[in-house]
Amino acid sequence: MRILWLFLTLLPLPLVCSNFVNNTENLLWGAYRPNLYFGLRPRLPQSLMTGLVWFGTQNYQSIAKARHACDQGDGLDSYTWTHFNPRQGGVQILRDSQNNVEITTEFLKVPGGSHGGSWVARIKGAPLNPKFPSRISTIFYLGLEGLGGVDMVTDESENGIDGPVEFSGTTPDLGDFTIRIVDAPDNEAVTTGPHSEAFEERLGKTHLAGLRLPPGQLWTAKDHIMQSIVNRASPIVEKYRTAEQAPDPSFTLQLPDDILTASNLFAVQKFFEGEFQFDVFFESASANQTFDASTIDQGIAAVVASFNSRFEETFPIPPSYPANDVTPLKSFSKAITSNLFGGIGYFYGTSIIDKGFAYEWDQDDEIDAADDGQNGARLTEPRALLTATPSRSFFPRGFYWDEGFHLLHIGAWDTELSLEILKGWIKLIDSDGWVAREQILGEEARSRVPAQFQTQVPTFANPPTLTMAVTAIIKKFNAAHDGPSAADLGIDYGINVQMPIASEPESSAVLDRAAVQSVLRDMYKPLKRHYEWFRRTQRGQIKQYGRRARSRTEGYRWRGRSEAHVLTSGMDDYPRGPPHAGELHLDLISWMGFFTRTMKDFAQFIDEEEDAASFAEIESAIINNIDDLHWDEESEMYCDVGIDSDDESTHICHAGYVSLFPFMLSLLPPDSSHLGPILDMLHDLEQLWSEYGIRSLSKSHPEFGKGENYWKGPIWVQINYMVLGALHNTYAREEGPFQEKAREIYEELRRNLVNNVFKEYQRTGYVWEQYDPLTGEGQRSHPFTGWTSLVTLILAEIY
Ligand code: 6A9
């Protein structure tokens, strides 16, 4: 058969590869479907996508539990990339004891040619417990959306195929390519274990389906593939009264070996018992390379070696760290970092926004968006985003304030990748300056979100963390240029191997100031528009407390809160006062102080002197008003401002994360007399202190552990990271009456937090969204390798 040309859409594809400080071409392909256990795609809106499905063939029930999208309900014992470099590839290990199999997925990117390079994937399996059989069927699928076509080159056969399966295809962006799926040379020989006799015949046979999905439906590939297996099996199996009487599932649960005309989805199924291995070679014709098993043998060895040495340079565990043996801690740190990197996804599609929605207490606001009659929930134009994700299983999509933390971590490893991701987020800032908190782009992303959470509202904010990434780059740049350069230090990131893996990203020490400035300058204007949107739309009324405030303007209130939740603050059910147009939120004014300070540093770096001066003024006005409006003498803590039933303003004080904000964001001067009581509360076992980290709400608070108990006590790693950063960079470093205390607390907190997250990882196989404030046990979503992965930065003391 020859290539079929499918013109599913005639829309031109936007150019995605951009001119950057240096090229980003080796970022075209990635494990950019992190919602899947193993899903590859290029960062192109419509193109080639792959996925992996597996199920046990030990019985007929297992097919209902076929594995594909990461799902806590699958009950995998663990799954994590152990090594992953976004420019080169990596290794992932998945443990599935319900099917007694450990699956390893290797992904190797091979640069070359003029279409973003080629890649090789290796999928291998072995019984977790060799004493018992491990019977698995794997399905590797590839599908194409958009312009171009793919077709199977290998001849079809009604009874399955022996030997490799080959496809060839072409798209405007990828050019011509071939895909070959090849068993390990001796898959039968490596297939060990007690086979059933009938099963022997099955070894080495590959079954196929070629299906035709309507445009935009490729993300549902698994459902169609499983349906075609069921369609074939049902008439056979129905003849038997019980599953026990039916033939061995490996004879019946097969793809139909039928390729429809104009197929755009191809599924390749294999049956194994015991160990197995097969490779998928994607060869871009323009690169003119032919791969075989040795390509990935050598390539992955090189990727792992290169990852390990770069990790030592970038995220070392200081020798002073108190641990008898740092080896397991180091593998853990590598795994969480790799999983953050392997969690980077590319998303494309429409989202839902409602320009007219407002809660009662927000209704007096001047409506920010032009009144263009666009009220009610509507679909937007499709948009693209390359972003890290908090949790591959539960929240596999972009979240605004999570991303600032992700970018700190990514940027410490690869400055230019963090800038590339940041650029994408900045592109989403609309003409008013708004960007949606949750990026639910396209139907696949939407399918994971209950309807009532899908709509985003253009007056709702979320903590402004994105500038963290910018200031981290500036800081890194300045440090590199003050100190010796990488070359002076004799660091050579290139490694000498046979395989053409992508070269390491440049260290920031060799980035040119003018080049960095020019990239940042492009981001400055939209970020400033975003900043101004915050100041305009989240402004609070300073009526009554205004008597005591030095600044008449700097007071802030989160829009879009409900009675029970302030989702916009990021700390959903943290206790607050009753909703009121006159309330003022401490965390938001602190975030605005932080945002202003980082914008000031940004303006300075790109020589926008006037702006820098005006940011400096606002910053000090904010710092003054934090004291004037929010410090409560009686309870000796910073508090929200609320309006009571007599219409009087009053402090709403809840000891916990909110009350720490001025300290946590280093807005308090180190000699502030308020620092003492804050540190006391922080270090008090009856309040915020635990052996496992800082609690979100004081143990002595009447609501501690109550209700939803999401932000009413549990320990969150990113907040602990901010506390550690404030201690390390400011209060333990700068002279002041509490410097010694800050130092002690820093050391103790760092140990507590690291030890607990690590201990829980060893105990459960996962890192978690949050940790129990009384026992330290991991809870809620897992794996949660978004900001919980900051433990790597905490170990390396990068704040
Ligand atoms: C609801 C559930 C199948 C909640 O990490 C992302 C965010 C944080 O930004 C936020 O601070 N998480 C924190 O309070 C997770 C939010 C998930 C909302 C999606 C749908 C799906 O149910």
Give the whole-number percent of the chain exceeding pLDDT 90. 81
Mind giving me the DSSP string for 730-768?
IITTS-STTHHHHHHHHHHHHHHHHHHHHHHHHHHSS--
**What are residue 126's phi and psi, to 5 degrees?**
-155, 150
Ligand 1 atom 13: residue of nearest CA = 570
What ipTM is given for this predicted complex? 0.97
Residue 447 Cβ inside 6 Å of ligand 1? The answer reads no
pLDDT score recorded for residue 486: 41
Give the DSSP H or E segment for 139: strand 135-144
Residue 567 Cβ inside 6 Å of ligand 1? The answer reads no
Per-residue pLDDT tens digits for 628-637: 999 999 999 9
Which ligand 1 atom lies nearest to the CA of residue 391? 5
Q: How far does the centroid of ligand 1 lie from the alpha carbon of residue 395, in Å?
A: 7
pLDDT score recorded for residue 507: 56
Per-residue pLDDT tens digits for 91-120: 999 999 999 999 999 999 999 999 999 999
Per-residue pLDDT tens digits for 659-689: 999 999 999 999 999 999 999 999 999 999 9
pLDDT score recorded for residue 503: 74
- Of the candidates 365, 393, 677, which has an alpha carbon nearest to the alpha carbon of residue 538? 365
Distance CA 755, CA 441 (A): 37
Residue 556 Cβ inside 6 Å of ligand 1? The answer reads no
Could you tell me which residues come within 8 angstroms of residue 522 by beta carbon, excluding any fewer than 6 positions away? Answer: 423
Q: Tell me the mean pLDDT in the region 60-82.
A: 97
What single letter denotes the amino acid at residue 74?
Answer: D
Query: What 3-state class would DSSP assign to 326?
Result: coil
pLDDT score recorded for residue 3: 33
Q: Which carries the bigger pLDDT value, residue 622 or residue 273? A: 622
Q: How far does the centroid of ligand 1 lie from the alpha carbon of residue 466, in Å?
A: 18
Per-residue pLDDT tens digits for 306-343: 999 999 999 999 999 988 899 999 999 999 999 999 99
Q: How far does the centroid of ligand 1 lie from the alpha carbon of residue 568, in Å?
A: 11
pLDDT score recorded for residue 493: 38
Ligand 1 atom 12: residue of nearest CA = 570
Ligand 1 atom 22: residue of nearest CA = 449
Is 371 a residue whose pLDDT tops 70? Answer: no
Per-residue pLDDT tens digits for 492-550: 334 334 456 777 665 554 567 788 888 899 999 999 999 999 999 999 998 767 678 99
Per-residue pLDDT tens digits for 251-268: 899 999 999 999 999 999
Residue 787 Cβ inside 6 Å of ligand 1? The answer reads no
pLDDT score recorded for residue 46: 95
Look at the block and give the residue holding tokens 């440049």. 506
Residue 401 Cβ inside 6 Å of ligand 1? The answer reads yes
Q: How far does the centroid of ligand 1 lie from the alpha carbon of residue 101, in Å?
A: 31
Is 442 a residue whose pLDDT tops 90? Answer: yes
Residue 73 Cβ inside 6 Å of ligand 1? The answer reads no
- pLDDT band at residue 224 under the 50/70/90 scheme: very high
Residue 395 Cβ inside 6 Å of ligand 1? The answer reads yes
Positive or negative torsion for Cα 552, 556, 561, 563? negative
Residue 657 Cβ inside 6 Å of ligand 1? The answer reads no
Q: How far does the centroid of ligand 1 lie from the alpha carbon of residue 377, in Å?
A: 20
Q: How far does the centroid of ligand 1 lie from the alpha carbon of residue 403, in Å?
A: 13
Distance CA 504, CA 747 (A): 33
Token pair listed for 517? 């400035």
Is 15 a residue whose pLDDT tops 50? Answer: no
Q: How far does the centroid of ligand 1 lie from the alpha carbon of residue 343, in Å?
A: 16
Is 624 a residue whose pLDDT tops 50? Answer: yes
Query: What 3-state class would DSSP assign to 447?
Result: coil
**What are residue 498's phi and psi, to 5 degrees?**
-70, -35
Residue 716 Cβ inside 6 Å of ligand 1? The answer reads no
* From 35, 352, 395, 460, mutation site for ligand 1 pocket: most ligand atoms within 8 A of C-beta: 395
pLDDT score recorded for residue 200: 59
Q: How far does the centroid of ligand 1 lie from the alpha carbon of residue 8, in Å?
A: 35
Per-residue pLDDT tens digits for 707-763: 999 999 999 999 999 999 999 999 999 999 999 999 999 999 999 999 999 999 999
Of 297, 572, 703, 747, the active-site residue reads 572
Token pair listed for 542? 């300073």
Is 204 a residue whose pLDDT tops 70? Answer: no
What single letter denotes the amino acid at residue 758?
Answer: F
Which ligand 1 atom lies nearest to the CA of residue 787? 5
Q: How far does the centroid of ligand 1 lie from the alpha carbon of residue 89, in Å?
A: 28
Is 271 a residue whose pLDDT tops 50? Answer: yes
Which ligand 1 atom lies nearest to the CA of residue 402? 9
pLDDT score recorded for residue 319: 92
Residue 444 Cβ inside 6 Å of ligand 1? The answer reads no
Residue 702 Cβ inside 6 Å of ligand 1? The answer reads no
Of 151, 273, 438, 769, the active-site residue reads 769
The pTM assigned to this predicted structure is 0.94
Is 210 a residue whose pLDDT tops 60? Answer: yes
Is 488 a residue whose pLDDT tops 50? Answer: no
Q: Tell me the mean pLDDT in the region 366-382.
A: 74
Burial annotation 679-706 (CB, 10 A radius, 16+ → b, else e):
bebbbeeebbbbebbbbbbbbebebbee
Ligand 1 atom 11: residue of nearest CA = 570
Is 748 noted as a catalytic residue in this protein?
no
Which ligand 1 atom lies nearest to the CA of residue 786? 5
Q: Any idea how long the chain is?
A: 799
Residue 132 Cβ inside 6 Å of ligand 1? The answer reads no
Residue 615 Cβ inside 6 Å of ligand 1? The answer reads no
**384 - beta bridge partners?**
348
Ligand 1 atom 21: residue of nearest CA = 449
Is 420 a residue whose pLDDT tops 50? Answer: yes
CB-CB contact of 399 with 437 (8 Å): yes
Residue 570 Cβ inside 6 Å of ligand 1? The answer reads yes
Ligand 1 atom 16: residue of nearest CA = 395
Residue 602 Cβ inside 6 Å of ligand 1? The answer reads no
Residue 450 Cβ inside 6 Å of ligand 1? The answer reads yes
Is 215 a residue whose pLDDT tops 50? Answer: yes
* From 70, 351, 399, 697, mutation site for ligand 1 pocket: most ligand atoms within 8 A of C-beta: 399
**300 - beta bridge partners?**
none
- pLDDT band at residue 365 under the 50/70/90 scheme: confident
Residue 405 Cβ inside 6 Å of ligand 1? The answer reads no
Is 572 noted as a catalytic residue in this protein?
yes
Mind giving me the DSSP string for 498-552?
SS-PPPPPPPGGGS-HHHHHHHHHHHHHHHHHHHHHHHHHSB---SSGGGG-S-S
Average pLDDT, the chain: 91
Ligand 1 atom 19: residue of nearest CA = 449
Which ligand 1 atom lies nearest to the CA of residue 450? 20
Q: How far does the centroid of ligand 1 lie from the alpha carbon of residue 520, in Å?
A: 30
Distance CA 530, CA 472 (A): 19
Q: How far does the centroid of ligand 1 lie from the alpha carbon of residue 786, in Å?
A: 12
Ligand 1 atom 10: residue of nearest CA = 570
Q: How far does the centroid of ligand 1 lie from the alpha carbon of residue 760, in Å?
A: 21
Is 17 a residue whose pLDDT tops 60? Answer: no
**What are residue 456's phi and psi, to 5 degrees?**
-105, 145
Residue 346 Cβ inside 6 Å of ligand 1? The answer reads no
